[in-house]
Structure 1
Amino acid sequence: MGDREAEHTLPRTELEEIASKISDLNKWREIFSFRGLEISNSTHQPGRGSAGDGPPGDGDPTGPQPPLLPAAIPKPLLVPPGTGGQPISLEMAMRLRKLLFGNVSHIFSCEWAQAYFRFCEPYSDLAYALEAEKGGTRTILMAVQAHIIKYLLFVRNTEYTHLERLRRTSRQEQGEALAAALADTLWAAGGGGRATISLLAPALHLMPSGAYKPDNFTERIQLFEFSEKAAAQEFIFDHINCFTGEGSHGVILFLYSLLFSRTLERVQEDLDSTATPLLNVSFGNITCTQAVISLLLTGQASPRQLDSGQEPAHGGEVWQQRGPVGYLRWDRAQVERQVCHGLRTPRLPVWLCSLSGRHGVLFGTDSRLLSDWKTERVFHLYFYNGQREQTKTAHLTIDTHSHRWEEDPCEDPSSLGKRRPPVEMAIRTKWAGATVSWNGTDPFF
């Protein structure tokens, strides 16, 4: 009996060594298993087209299969130790919280904390598209969506044309397009000379004090500074899973990156030293203000930049520069409000649309549309609103010379917004009196 007990008794030093290894294992498991990102023991069979970059069906499921290979370890959602960067300080976290909410005790809702950049299936009608739940994060997702479409249609080189360029988007190209879209937006916020990228580190950098309420991710922020746009874009692509992985807090990380790229001091100046926060909080819902939309589109967090005829703060000029992405707005309660000319007429035919408070993207595939007046007589636009109910890109035909709605002389033009979809009314803020055909699709939004 004593011999058997001796066989199963380990020296104390060996037990301590095993306990130490278990502790190390748990530490790394926590890092690589953040919010469900675990190292899988499953196997992957190449050639099936399920997770690769090739089109579905490239493999031959009935033919001889190659040997099973271990599954690739997914990219972590947390930036590994030793990557560099600057940890956020308590002072920075408090100033950030005040800018967003007006106080340091408010935190993001579960809806915001769970939001990340999630694409539809590659090589599908919506391969270019981000999924967006109903709620406040949709504004940011659709603004980034506009930049993604700009990149896929007018920046990257492919052999395909028109909508086929979007439908042929692979998973690899989805990541490239998102990295380009985020980098473009951050670079504009940095004034064309800098960008700051916020990622999550495994460990907390600060200990909350006073009224500051921790949320378990702001306290982990690591800031990475870049003075070259290409380097920032490459860094984002190398860490793309930090924005696209479930549990990554990807949308919040991008919003933080946007504010730090602009710098918190300049954002406060953009707001004209008012106490108005960047986010609206009402009955538990958190939505973006016009200042956030302005920052996403113009690089400045001044809502006056969006409005035609409004004088911005500090004696600046109303936003008249034609950026690559535009903005159209329609709200029945504020029909008189017009978006400034520089945003209604961007360099490329891609617009973020605010439609009675909800957001989508309107775009064309002809880069000449806004530079050659002859193309604006009859032309085609496409619309995507980010909702799961939309399974295909809506195709609209715009006729700026056939005003069928004017045929009834008794009709009150002011009543049009009550019976026409907001997207049509937003289009008419750019092309007054245009008729819109949905080409067989039931009008929505």
Structure 2
Amino acid sequence: MGDQGAGHAAPAPLQEIASRISDLSKWREIFSFPGLEINSTTHQQGRSSAGHGPPGAGESPGSQPPSTVPRPLLLPQGMGGCPISPDTAMRLQQLLFRSTAPLFSCEWAAARFRFHPPRSHLAYALQAGKGGTRAILAAVQAHIITYLLFTRETECTHLERLCQLGRREQGQALATALAETLWAAGGGGRAVVCLITAPVTTMPRAGCRASSFTDRIRLFEFSEKAAAQEFISDHINSFKGEGSHGVILFLYSLLFSRTLERVQEDLGDAAPLLNISSGNITCTEAVLSLLLTGRASPRQLGGGREPERGAGSGGAEAPCPRGPVGFLRWERAPLQRQVSPGLRTPRLPVWLCSLSGRHSVLFSTDSRLLSDWKAERIFHLYFYSGQQEQTQTAHLTIDTHSHHWEEAEREGPCSPGRRRPALEMAIRTKWAGATVSWNGTDPFF
């Protein structure tokens, strides 16, 4: 009897052990996703604005981690969307590099939209890092600031409000900025979002070298901006998570929102969208124009002082209208190109700055600054360089009615004005002769 009872009792422990092994494998798989860390905030932020994100790398289609765990990066193959055909992949590479070989560097592959810690001095700011991706990050940063200060419903628009952002508000601001930029690139009628799926088995045709993930990208097209923004918000980890290729995905989304045909028409010549020099990959002004105006035309950033070489129609291009984000440039060169008046004076006081090739953001918290001339006598601007060394937003005071001697047109290359920081000189391209006070901070840009 004892032996018979033991025989019937044996399966229960075995089943329990097998169940625990299965659970252990599942949790090992969940916590092996790139960028997933176990910390004290995991259970608090699991259902944030990124809480409906896609399942991630290594996960079998159909399985999902518990809602208390942040969603990983990759989509299952059954999510829908359209793949990028081998021919389209080649055209994309041609536009980017004038080459069909995948030339993105490890630096670009690692770039993503990562904020500084929430509720800190730079809670509103993206960590720009180094290299050629900073131009894209800075442009998106300008759109983020525009949303946080002037678009969202809020009782106050002072700098302190930007420092009080929580993690969920950061994700919402990023999703809004990305959607707004893609919608503008789509001409106000469409947006295309690129996300990476689980591996596929389709092989590119002979002669086409697909990148490590371009053949796994799916295109999701939207005809309503709100729907695109909601989709991006649900999958925000695909742009800000570690290992997400977030900046490259956003650049692809921009190009497909504009359409590759229209981007080629915008360029009008054989110049690629990205420059490669000494191993560094940097954005051309065509990319900046696409980010700011919705058109990949570098002539949109200029004031028409340069001949329009390679223009497809051969005619003069219409002046750039005032957009929500402006552009200021300063180059230490004898013949600096003038920025279009519509970009020097945007609808809202937020500017992407190109200072000797380095990109940063300048902004005011006063929405009336560019619509009331009285507000432009003495006013305040704030500056974020994206440099790792900057731990607080720089506060500048601009006086446009003092020291008019600085407006001398024949200022020599060794005069005091020529030796001023690049940021101050860029500000003077908008407010000629203005004096700039750094309010006790040592000028650093």
The Cα of 1:172 is off from its aligned counterpart by 0.7
SS at match of 1:253: helix
**In the alignment, which of 286, 296, 306 is matched to residue 281 of structure 2?**
286
CA distance in 1, matches of 2:246, 2:72: 13
SS at match of 1:35: coil
Residue 394 of structure 2 corresponds to which residue in structure 1?
394
**In the alignment, which of 202, 212, 218 is matched to residue 214 of structure 2?**
218
CA distance in 2, matches of 1:205, 1:151: 41
Question: Conserved in 1, the CA contact under 8 Å of 2:319 and 2:340?
Answer: yes
The Cα of 1:275 is off from its aligned counterpart by 1.9
Question: Conserved in 2, the CA contact under 8 Å of 1:107 and 1:213?
Answer: no
Q: Is 403-412 or 262-271 further displaced after alignment?
A: 403-412
1:137 equivalent to 2:101? Answer no
1:296 equivalent to 2:326? Answer no
SS at match of 1:383: strand
1:35 equivalent to 2:40? Answer no
**In the alignment, which of 163, 167, 170 is matched to residue 163 of structure 2?**
167
Mapping for residues 193-272 of structure 1, pairs under 5 Å: 193-204=189-200, 206-272=202-268
CA distance in 2, matches of 1:32, 1:46: 14
Q: Is 371-380 or 311-320 further displaced after alignment?
A: 311-320
CA distance in 2, matches of 1:412, 1:219: 55
SS at match of 1:280: strand
Amino acid at match of 2:346: P
Amino acid at match of 1:80: P
CA distance in 2, matches of 1:81, 1:252: 20
CA distance in 1, matches of 2:365, 2:183: 25
1:264/1:29 Cα in 2 relative to 1: closer, same or farther (>3 Å)?
A: farther
The Cα of 1:219 is off from its aligned counterpart by 1.3
Q: Is 334-343 or 298-307 further displaced after alignment?
A: 334-343
Mapping for residues 323-402 of structure 1, pairs under 5 Å: 323-333=323-333, 335-402=335-402
The Cα of 1:336 is off from its aligned counterpart by 2.9
Unpaired runs of 5+ residues, structure 2, are: 1-6, 8-17, 49-65
The Cα of 1:407 is off from its aligned counterpart by 10
Amino acid at match of 1:260: F
CA distance in 2, matches of 1:322, 1:158: 24
**In the alignment, which of 71, 81, 84 is matched to residue 85 of structure 1?**
81
The Cα of 1:81 is off from its aligned counterpart by 3.2
What do residues 143-173 of structure 1 show as CA deviations (whole Å, max 9, x unaligned)?
A: 0000000000001122333102211111111
Amino acid at match of 1:343: L
The Cα of 1:333 is off from its aligned counterpart by 1.6
Residue 423 of structure 1 corresponds to which residue in structure 2?
423
1:100 equivalent to 2:99? Answer no
What do residues 82-125 of structure 1 show as CA deviations (whole Å, max 9, x unaligned)?
A: 22111111111111111101011142000000000000011111
1:45/1:342 Cα in 2 relative to 1: closer, same or farther (>3 Å)?
A: closer
Amino acid at match of 1:150: T
Unpaired runs of 5+ residues, structure 1, are: 1-6, 8-17, 54-69
1:191/1:406 Cα in 2 relative to 1: closer, same or farther (>3 Å)?
A: closer
The Cα of 1:71 is off from its aligned counterpart by 8.4
Amino acid at match of 1:358: R
CA distance in 2, matches of 1:275, 1:116: 29
TM-score normalized by structure 2?
Answer: 0.84
The Cα of 1:406 is off from its aligned counterpart by 3.5
TM-score normalized by structure 1?
Answer: 0.84
Q: Is 141-150 or 410-419 further displaced after alignment?
A: 410-419
Question: Conserved in 2, the CA contact under 8 Å of 1:117 and 1:250?
Answer: yes
Question: Conserved in 2, the CA contact under 8 Å of 1:32 and 1:76?
Answer: no
The Cα of 1:52 is off from its aligned counterpart by 9.5
CA distance in 2, matches of 1:51, 1:171: 11
The Cα of 1:46 is off from its aligned counterpart by 6.9
The Cα of 1:415 is off from its aligned counterpart by 3.6
CA distance in 1, matches of 2:260, 2:225: 20
Q: Percent identity?
A: 69
Shift >2 Å, 4+ stretches: 28-38, 42-47, 50-53, 158-161, 208-215, 310-320, 404-418
**In the alignment, which of 180, 187, 190 is matched to residue 191 of structure 1?**
187
CA distance in 1, matches of 2:32, 2:301: 42
1:84/1:433 Cα in 2 relative to 1: closer, same or farther (>3 Å)?
A: same
CA RMSD of aligned residues (A): 3.2
SS at match of 2:333: helix
Residue 303 of structure 2 corresponds to which residue in structure 1?
308
Amino acid at match of 2:229: Q
Q: Is 140-149 or 158-167 further displaced after alignment?
A: 158-167
Q: Is 112-121 or 79-88 further displaced after alignment?
A: 79-88
Question: Conserved in 1, the CA contact under 8 Å of 2:46 and 2:70?
Answer: no
What do residues 361-385 of structure 1 show as CA deviations (whole Å, max 9, x unaligned)?
A: 0000100100111111110000001
